[in-house]
């Protein structure tokens, strides 16, 4: 393989620099994944390195999967570990968690499970402080990200007004996790760090295996992740990291941009390479990005360039209010879709904070424009799916009391809260897990009535647990579906119940597909895969406009991007205690937003915006001024934009229903329970009607609220 023909000169140099410490400063759209892929291929093909000696760490499962596929396609080799930090740590702990006193069949708790535990702790012990759950959850995560116990963290936050509360809840939270044989996401990193620190033999095993360690998105690493990497490479020193200090935007969740800025201090002999040639964006978009980010003092310095033409000028528009801003955006999209061959999926509307997406969602729903909100309700977070998964988790980890309490009365078995509390208390008195207590009901101090109610579930739990290794995974999951009788748990005559059953059916299908790709997979491995899914791993290739926070689209790109809400206090999102470092992170977020665009970019703001129940006015964002576009700004007359967009949407968006969009359209046939069809959203059932708006459960897209006079709906049945 001739690497000089596959890579440009900027990319070739780090790929062929194989020994010691290497930092690649990779600008947005500069081909960093290509560099990582060919670097690993070069090690295997040209240097004779065994794939088993290579570790590559990414930040999403999707990125890991794509990179592994590329490496296999280039080299024909398998065996390297290409995975996220959390997946790497979970695999290490599955092998050696017992050395820390943990059962290796631990459950992995996501945010929902962690929140439920903290909520319960507050209700039972601190009922006057239940409103502080978010603060406590954030602090527990922050403590774990810097490897601090409750006692150590208490010293660190001794001046915090809620120091005692945070410390006490953190302590009880850890006790609950231990009782349930569970780790949260932060634990996966922390426990692996402790394992390596306390058991040198385990650390050396992985040091001797992974002679070459690669880390993608290094600017997003936190302290624990940084230390884990440092431990792994201490023996042989071969570390290859790729990152962009200008795209470090996760400081709020513990990421430390200093890890990349100080790389030279930690590895004095390292070589630093810069990838500045951008293959994504037009010249004008890159000029705007460079102007904005140049205002940051704490950066290593890069200047993105491209050999593409400058392209269309970046546009800035200042609107009178948020409604006019939304109308302007829709007008641009409609014009490009109708007259210039664009698809809805070519567009992204990016916001700094979620709260300002509502006006765009309302407008698009009313006019029947298809859209998707990234970070919306995810498939595996739906209640019916989490209920099903809880049965599977109980089978793998009987100590998982959270899963047991979730499903003990689902489907309904007449087991009320009082019965569950009595079971919990009886098990606690005998130092038994809930599952073990259910398996030994006769030994517990419970009333005969409670024992009778619990016996049915106990028999079911025993059967499900015993059968998990008796058949292939997809057959077992179907067995659980039938044994639990999920079908009878939902009313198939109710649209919502039918939707839940369809979601469970989709879940069964996903298990079948997973088994087809992984024939010998065990239930434990499948559950771990589900537990480690992130927002970025869930994709939808449909023809929808994307509405998202900027954090939600990092790593993505679009032909056309609107960055909206560019007002001081919103973007940048400022508080009274904002520091220079905070402002620089906000500027990096702006830089990330700009560099998502390939062809067209609009920056917009509103003179006034309706938030928190009142109108508020904010000045234009400093980032607009820094972009150099403020002088070219055109203040658009509100009435003109509103009139134009109303005309465009009624005339052009859906010509097939132009006549029925008239004010006199009869909407009396649209009632709850009526089946309807939308030309883009497909078939659905009306759930309820309020005035001219209807909540409709679409089979493929879920629930949407549409204006009955404007939306192109046809009645298909009762």
CA 503 from centroid of its chain's CA atoms: 20
Q: Is 604 helix (H, G, I), strand (E, B) or coil?
A: strand
Query: What is the enclosing helix (H) or strand (E) of 551?
Result: none
The active-site residue, picked from 10, 11, 32, 584, is 32
| Contact yes or no for 718/674 (Cβ under 8 A) | yes
Axis-axis angle for helices 185-198, 133-145 (nearest 10): 30
Closest CA to 313 of 629, 669, 709: 629
Query: Alpha carbon of 42 to those of 16, 21, 53, 273, 506: distances in Å?
Result: 7, 16, 13, 17, 41
- Respond yes or no: is residue 596 known to be catalytic: yes
Report CA torsion sign: 444, 450, 456, 457.
negative
Query: Alpha carbon of 145 to those of 55, 99, 122, 182: distances in Å?
Result: 22, 21, 23, 17
The active-site residue, picked from 217, 322, 327, 599, is 217
| Contact yes or no for 326/361 (Cβ under 8 A) | no
- Respond yes or no: is residue 32 known to be catalytic: yes
Contacts of 36 (CB under 8 A, 6+ apart): 56, 67, 214, 216, 240, 242
Q: Is 511 helix (H, G, I), strand (E, B) or coil?
A: helix
- Respond yes or no: is residue 247 known to be catalytic: yes
CA distance 528 to 511: 13
Query: Alpha carbon of 244 to those of 83, 251, 281, 369: distances in Å?
Result: 20, 14, 17, 36
- Respond yes or no: is residue 217 known to be catalytic: yes
Residue 557, preceding bond cis, omega within 30 degrees?
no
Report the residue count for the chain.
Answer: 718
| Contact yes or no for 242/217 (Cβ under 8 A) | yes
CA distance 58 to 41: 17
- Strands 693-698 and 702-707 come out as antiparallel
Closest CA to 694 of 303, 436, 365: 365
The active-site residue, picked from 16, 18, 33, 660, is 33
Contacts of 477 (CB under 8 A, 6+ apart): 392, 508, 511
Q: Work out the angle at residue 655's Cα, subtended by the Cα atoms of residues 652 and 658, and round it to the nearest 5 degrees.
A: 100
Contacts of 592 (CB under 8 A, 6+ apart): 28, 247, 249, 550, 554
CA distance 525 to 538: 19
CA distance 235 to 231: 8
The active-site residue, picked from 247, 324, 549, 636, is 247
Closest CA to 393 of 404, 383, 384: 404
The string of DSSP codes covering 687-707 is EEEETTEEEEEETTTEEEEEE
Query: Alpha carbon of 303 to those of 244, 498, 601, 707: distances in Å?
Result: 12, 54, 19, 47
Alpha helices in 430-522 (DSSP H): 434-439, 448-467, 473-484, 495-517
Q: Is 180 helix (H, G, I), strand (E, B) or coil?
A: coil
Q: Is 109 helix (H, G, I), strand (E, B) or coil?
A: strand
CA distance 1 to 74: 9
The active-site residue, picked from 10, 96, 113, 216, is 216
Bridge partners of 213?
A: 55, 239
CA 277 from centroid of its chain's CA atoms: 29
Query: What is the enclosing helix (H) or strand (E) of 269?
Result: none
- Respond yes or no: is residue 470 known to be catalytic: no
| Contact yes or no for 344/685 (Cβ under 8 A) | no
CA distance 188 to 209: 20
Query: What is the enclosing helix (H) or strand (E) of 275?
Result: strand 271-275
The active-site residue, picked from 191, 274, 596, 622, is 596
- Respond yes or no: is residue 131 known to be catalytic: no
Q: Which residues are catalytic?
A: 32-33, 216-217, 247, 596
């Amino acid at each position: 393989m001739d690497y000089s023909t596959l890579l440009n000169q900027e990319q070739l140099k780090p790929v062929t620099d194989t020994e010691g410490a290497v930092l690649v400063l990779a600008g947005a759209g500069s081909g960093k994944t290509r560099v990582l892929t060919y670097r690993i291929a070069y090690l295997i093909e040209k240097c004779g390195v065994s794939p088993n000696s290579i570790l590559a760490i990414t930040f999403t499962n999707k990125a890991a999967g794509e990179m592994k596929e590329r490496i296999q396609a280039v080299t024909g080799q398998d065996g390297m570990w290409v995975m996220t930090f959390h997946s790497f740590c979970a695999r290490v702990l599955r092998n050696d968690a017992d050395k820390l006193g943990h059962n290796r069949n631990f459950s992995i708790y996501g945010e929902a499970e962690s929140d439920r535990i903290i909520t319960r702790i507050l209700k039972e012990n601190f009922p006057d402080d239940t409103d502080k759950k978010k603060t406590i959850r954030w602090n527990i995560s922050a403590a774990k990200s810097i490897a601090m116990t409750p006692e150590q963290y208490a010293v660190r936050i001794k001046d915090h007004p809620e120091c005692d509360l945070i410390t006490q809840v953190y302590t009880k939270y850890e006790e609950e996790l231990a009782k349930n044989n569970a780790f949260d996401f932060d634990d996966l990193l922390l426990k692996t760090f402790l394992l390596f620190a306390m058991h040198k033999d385990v650390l050396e095993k992985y040091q001797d295996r992974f002679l070459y360690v690669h880390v993608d998105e290094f600017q997003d690493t936190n302290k624990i992740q940084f230390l884990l990497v440092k431990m792994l490479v201490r023996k042989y020193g071969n570390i290859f990291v790729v990152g962009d200090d200008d795209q470090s935007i996760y400081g709020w969740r513990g990421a430390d941009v200093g890890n990349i800025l100080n790389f030279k201090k930690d590895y004095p002999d390292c070589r630093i390479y810069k990838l500045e040639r951008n293959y994504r964006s037009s010249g004008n978009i890159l000029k705007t990005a460079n102007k904005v980010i140049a205002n940051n003092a704490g950066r290593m310095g890069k200047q993105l360039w491209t050999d593409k033409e400058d392209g269309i000028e970046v546009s800035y528009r200042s609107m009178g209010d948020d409604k006019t801003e939304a109308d302007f955006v829709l007008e641009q999209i409609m014009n490009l879709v109708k007259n210039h061959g664009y698809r809805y999926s070519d567009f992204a509307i990016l916001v700094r904070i979620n709260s300002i997406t509502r006006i765009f969602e309302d407008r698009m729903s009313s006019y029947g424009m298809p859209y998707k909100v990234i970070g919306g309700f995810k498939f595996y977070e739906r209640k019916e799916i989490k209920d099903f998964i809880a049965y599977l988790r109980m089978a793998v980890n009987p100590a998982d009391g959270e899963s047991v309490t979730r499903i003990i009365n689902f489907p309904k078995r007449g087991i009320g809260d009082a019965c569950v509390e009595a079971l919990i208390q009886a098990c606690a008195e005998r130092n038994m897990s809930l599952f073990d207590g259910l398996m030994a009901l006769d030994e517990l101090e419970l009333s005969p009535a409670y024992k009778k109610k619990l016996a049915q579930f106990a028999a079911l739990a025993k059967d499900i647990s015993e059968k998990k290794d008796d058949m292939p995974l997809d057959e077992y999951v179907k067995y659980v579906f039938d044994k639990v009788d999920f079908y009878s748990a939902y009313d198939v005559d109710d649209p919502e119940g039918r939707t839940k059953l369809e979601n469970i059916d989709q879940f069964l299908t996903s298990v079948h597909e997973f088994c087809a790709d992984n024939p010998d997979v065990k239930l434990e491995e499948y559950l771990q895969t589900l537990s480690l899914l992130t927002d970025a791993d869930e994709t939808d290739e449909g023809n929808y406009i994307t509405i998202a926070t900027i954090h939600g689209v990092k790593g993505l790109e679009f032909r056309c991007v609107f960055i909206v809400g560019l007002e001081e206090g919103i973007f940048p999102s400022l508080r009274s205690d904002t520091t220079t470092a905070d402002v620089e992170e906000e500027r990096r977020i702006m830089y990330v937003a700009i560099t998502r665009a390939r062809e067209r970019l609009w920056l917009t703001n509103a003179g006034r915006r309706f938030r928190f129940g009142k109108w508020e006015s904010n000045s234009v964002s400093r980032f607009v001024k820094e972009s150099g576009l403020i002088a070219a700004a055109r203040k658009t007359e509100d009435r003109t934009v509103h009139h134009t967009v109303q005309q465009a949407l009624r005339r052009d968006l859906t010509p097939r229903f132009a006549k029925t969009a008239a004010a006199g359209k009869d909407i009396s046939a649209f009632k709850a329970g009526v089946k309807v069809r939308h030309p883009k959203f497909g078939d659905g059932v009306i759930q309820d009607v309020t005035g001219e708006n209807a909540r409709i459960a679409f089979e493929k897209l879920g629930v949407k609220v549409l204006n009955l006079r404007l939306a192109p709906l046809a009645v298909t049945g009762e």
